[in-house]
Amino acid sequence: MDIRNKEVSLPITDPLPQNVPIDSQSTVPHLRVYQPTVEPKKIPGISVEAKLLHHRNHISRIASGDFLPPVMVDIDPVDGVCNLDCAWCCQAQSRASRPARFMALDTMRRLGPFCQNWGVKAWRISGDSEPLLNRNIEILIQSGCEFGIDMGLITNGVFLDRVKSFSNLTYVGVSLDATTASTWSQLKQSPPEGFERIIRNVKRIRQEYPDLDLCIKFVRFHSKTSLRKNQFSEAMAICDEGSVTSKDNLLEAEELEDFAKRLGCRPITRDAYPEGFSETYQFSKCHATPLGGVFDASHKFHLCCDARSIHVLTDDYTRDDWQELPSLWGSDRHKRMIEGIKPQDCAGCAKFKTNEILEHVVMMSDVSEKYQLNFI
C-alpha cells in the first residue's frame, strides 16, 4: 500500500532545483550523468564485530539480563504512508497496517532531551514510511542536534530539498536502487521524473556539504528469487501483491560503484532478502533488540525495526511524562516479549549477523562449538 491508497493530503510536486548543471555525456543508457565536483568521503570500514566490541558494556548487560538503554533508535517522523512503492519493501506490511500519521512538533522537540537523559547515543531517522513527507523534519533534526544525538537519515530522496541544512547529520543514505530512470520508475511504481529530481538534489547536496557522508543505497532485487513486499510477515499478511514489477536491477547493480563515484557518493549495496532467508539463520533467539528500538509518529515504541506493529513495548512512550518507557525497559514484560520473538517467523532480519555473534560468542549457546570459535 502506498500514498495513492491513503486518504491523506500530501503534496508530491514540490519544484525541482533548477540551477544544477547536467552533463549530456553518459556511459549508462537512458541517463544523464552529473560530473562530480567532490570526491566521496572516505569512511573506514568497521565490521559488526568491532562495533559490538565498542559497546561491550551493553553486550555484557544483555548477557546478564540487566539491559542498558538502547545505543541507537529509529525515529519514524511518518507512519503508514509512502510516496513510492518498492517491490521488495519489508516495511510494506507495517505501513499497510497503520493509518497515516505525522509526528507532532512537541514530540519532536522532546525526543532530543529525553533520549539524551535516557542514554541513547544515535538516531536513525527513517521509518516504514518516507520520513521527509513530514514537512517539519527540521524540528526533529534540531532537537537531536541540541542534545548531542548522533543522527543519520535514510530516505528515498524525492524530497531531499525539504531539508534546509545537512550540517547536523552524520550521514545521509539515499535509497536509489537503480542507475536509470526507467528501471527506477518500474521498481518504485512512480513516474521517472522522480529519479531526475533525486539526482539533482544529490548533486546539490554534494556541492554544498563536501564533508557529509552521502551514500547511494542499492538493494539488488531479483524478480524470481527475492522476497516481495507481501511476503514478510504472516502476522500482518494484509499487503496485496498489487502491481509488483517483474523487472529487476541486477545489471545496474554492476554499474553502481562508478555511478556513485560520478555523483561524489559512497555506494552501499546489499541483496534483497531471498525466499527462505529465515531458514539460514544461525541463531535461535533474538538477542539484538535491547540494542535498539523504534519511536514512531503515533507514540508507540516498537522493539524491532523489521517488525513494527508486532512487538510494541508501549503504545504511548509519552505516558507519565515520558517515564513509562524507561520503567518498562528491562522489565519482566520486556524480557517476555523478547522471548516470544521466534526468528523462524521473521522472513527478513536486518540484525541477523548481530544475533549470530551474540548467541555464539557472548551467550555461548550449546551449539557454538561447531563453529570452531577457537580458530581465529
List, as one string, the DSSP characters of 24-84.
---SSTT-PPPPPSSPPP------HHHHHHHTHHHHHHHHHT-PPPPSEEEE-SEES--S-
Instruction: Return the closest-CA partner of residue 158 out of 179, 137, 132, 183.
Output: 132
Number of H helices, E strands in the chain: 13, 11
Residue 33 is predicted with a pLDDT of 44
* Residue 232 scores a pLDDT above 50: no
Domain assignment of residue 302, yes or no: yes
Q: Is residue 134 part of a domain?
A: yes
CATH code, 45:
3.20.20.70
Q: What is the pLDDT of residue 141?
A: 98
pLDDT (average), residues 93-112: 88
Is the pLDDT at 86 greater than 90? The verdict is no
Kindly state whether residue 191 falls inside one of the protein's structural domains.
yes
**65 occurs within a structural domain:** yes
Q: How far apart are the first and last CA of the chain?
A: 47
Q: Decide if 376 is inside a domain.
A: no
What is the pLDDT at residue 163? 96
Q: What is the pLDDT of residues 150-178, one digit of tens each?
A: 999 999 999 999 999 999 999 999 999 89
The answer, yes or no, to whether residue 89 has pLDDT greater than 80, is: no
| Residue 256 counted as domain residue | yes
Domain-embedded: residue 113: yes
Mean predicted confidence (pLDDT) in 355-368? 72
Pick the more confident residue, 153 or 287. 153
The number of folded domains in the chain is 1
pLDDT in tens, 206-221: 999 999 999 999 888 7
Looking at residue 185, its pLDDT comes to 92
Q: Is 110 inside a domain boundary? A: yes
In terms of residue numbers, what domain contains 252? 3-371
Q: For the residues 302-315, what does the mean pLDDT come to?
A: 89
Q: How confident is the model at residue 20 (pLDDT cuts 50, 70, 90)?
A: very low
- When pLDDT is averaged across residues 242-254 and rounded to a whole number, the result is 64
- C-alpha span between 250 and 252 (Å, rounded): 5
Q: Please give the pLDDT value at position 51.
A: 85
Cα dihedral value 43, 28, 191, 136, nearest 10: 20
Confidence check: pLDDT of 315 > 90: yes
CA angle 17, 200, 251 (to 5 degrees): 155
pLDDT exceeds cutoff 70 at 32: no
Q: Which of 75-89, 104-118, 349-363 has the highest mean pLDDT?
A: 104-118
pLDDT higher than 90, residue 233? no
Q: How far is CA 281 from CA 19, 225, 232, 300, 328, in A?
A: 49, 18, 15, 28, 29
Q: Read off the pTM.
A: 0.81
